[in-house]
Structure 1
């Protein structure tokens, strides 16, 4: 989605926010009256039929038969990105985690060992896990992309008519696109840092630079002639072209048998017009035998050759 599109959606989102959030499906509100465990299984796992034992086993992450502090925090998604976004700093985040764990242990940990076993969990029943929605602990388990799909995309954009650009105007949509834009900008600036270039301030600046680069490349390509223009081979050239400068070049060369080229086989038109060059090269030379003067024949009479 283009930067301009995201900015437009941002303006529309201001109107949408005035009508309330969209973090919950309209037909899902009946679950608000149920226990946290039931809400969690329905919204996070899409499971409506389960018992306390299966809930406990599902969230016993290491399978040792106990819930420890980390597993209690996981049940509430305390350290998920969505939860941390609602806490100002690390200190507040840790205080929130401690508050949740202490409250759960107080309700269930009857032997005071800092752990919860299945028997303690079942004894506490459905109300054993209180809700901490006010703290932003919504029980999210999955990565941000999966959570967005599970709790928003799947609910509000599951049909073709709700998947058009005009439909993605909820606050969650805007936040999601802004996050993608942030990630894309970070990747772009990593490449620029590697190239020793200054970072872009936003994606709009990056797109403008990319468009300029493409335009410059096209302009350069239109100015530069083709590198691989096919040239006519010497044997197919018009004699007027082929031998145009041969005479002048031959006059500047030493006689045949002298200079660096000495008795080497003449190849170019200029070499063949050198003074004293034999009329014809014998077959030994044509077969690659090193030439010497005895291997050339000279026309002495009109009947020779």
Structure 2
């Protein structure tokens, strides 16, 4: 009775994050409690064939032969940023984590030692893993960029026809690219500060407001004319020449993209290597194999 009440209340506290289309609705309705392990392995790990032992070992993160609290939380992606977004506050998030861990322990921890062994898990079986999607614990393991690719890009933008400018109109697309715009805007702001370039409408810093009476005129040194030292010194201080760095996007394409193809061919394919599914930033990154069309042709989210 208490468990049912908690789930009912928690379902109202934690907002459900989904695509908003028919795909997620159908998936939620079709998936039973017994199917969580299979869906998790397929969607998060791209593994369709497995048994209890392989599932256990894959999620035994410290390889000590037991599932402890942190590993149970990881199975359900409790502390992933997506799950955190669906928690009202830190207290509610901790309650969610405690509820999930305690539920799993109550189902599988036979000897009540606060952890689960392989034998205990095999005795309970894969079908004993509950589904906590209603709490926002959907089992995500990877960074936001990779999760967006796995659970949205691969499903809704897997073909060239679905990667046009007009295709990226889903709520997830808007939110995802808005976050990229915010990151890029902050990077540009820091670059301007580093180069000492003021933004349009921005007042100059106090350090640049120097009055004429505070400007010291340096004396003439080694005058060319032998009698120049007897004349009034009228020279003005030489202002340092400011060299502006031309932004990369304004460079001639032949300069900007020179060598990009060769450099891109030396990099791992899209989704592989240390860069993984991260958004391409340089021309060479965009020339990697299997990079989605949107990264090759889309200029800015504001252009849509």
Please state which band the TM-score falls in when normalised by the shorter chain.
Answer: 0.5 to 0.7
Question: C-alpha distance in 1, partners of 2:55/2:93?
Answer: 26
Partner of 2:141: 141
Distance across 1 between alignment mates of 2:117 and 2:171? 40
For 2:67 and 2:193, locate their aligned partners in 1 and report how far apart those are by CA, in whole Å: 45
Please tell me whether residue 76 in structure 1 is matched to residue 49 in structure 2. Answer: no
**When the two structures are superposed, what TM-score results if normalisation uses the length of structure 2?**
0.55
Pick closer, same or farther for the CA change 1:48–1:189 going to 2, 3 Å: same
Residue 113 and residue 21 in structure 1: after superposition, are their counterparts in 2 closer, same or farther (change >3 A)? same
1:166–1:189 CA distance, 2 compared to 1 (3 A): same
1:167 is matched with 167
**2:31 is equivalent to residue 44 of structure 1:** no
- SS of 2:31 mapped into structure 1: helix
Matched, 1:89 2:89: yes
Task: Write the distance in 2 (CA, Å) between the matches of 1:163 and 1:193.
Answer: 35
List, as ranges, runs of 4+ consecutive aligned residues in structure 1 with deviation greater than 6 Å.
196-200
Q: Would the aligned equivalents of 1:31 and 1:39 in 2 still touch at CA under 8 Å? A: no
* Offset of residue 166 of structure 1: 0.5
- The residue aligned with 1:267 is none
CA distance in 1, matches of 2:192, 2:106: 53
- Structure with higher Rg: it is 1
Q: For residues 161 and 75 of structure 1, what CA distance do their matches in structure 2 show?
A: 35
Render the CA deviation track for 1:268-289: whole Å, top value 9, x for unaligned: xxxxxxxxxxxxxxxxxxxxxx
Q: Show the counterpart of 2:31.
A: 32
* Mapped partners of 2:179, 2:172: distance in 1: 11
Deviation at 1:95, TM superposition (A): 1.6
Structure 2 unaligned spans of 5+: 1-18, 201-244, 251-304
Write the mapping of 1:1-305 to structure 2, written as runs, cut at 5 A. 21-22=20-21, 24=23, 32-33=31-32, 34-194=34-194
- RMSD (Å), alpha carbons: 2.9
Tell me the secondary structure at the aligned position of residue 105 of structure 2. Answer: helix
Provide the rounded CA distance (Å) in 1 between the counterparts of 2:181 and 2:68: 38
| C-alpha contact 1:23 1:152 (8 A) present in aligned 2 | no
Relative to structure 1, is the Cα distance of residues 67 and 52 closer, same or farther in structure 2, using a 3 angstrom cutoff? same
C-alpha offsets along residues 55-114 of structure 1, whole Å, 9 cap, x if unaligned? 001100111100110000000001111111111222222221111111111111111111
Residue 193 of structure 1, CA deviation: 4.6
Give the CA deviation at 1:39: 1.5
Partner SS state of residue 137, structure 1: coil
TM-score by length of 1: 0.55
Cα distance per residue 1:11-57 (max 9 Å; x no partner): xxxxxxxxx71494698668613421112112211222111111001
Task: For 2:84 and 2:199, locate their aligned partners in 1 and report how far apart those are by CA, in whole Å.
Answer: 28
Contact 1:78 1:139 in 2 (8 A): yes
The residue aligned with 2:236 is none
Q: How many residues align?
A: 186
Shift of 1:149: 0.6
**Counterpart Cα distance in 1 of 2:197 and 2:102:** 51
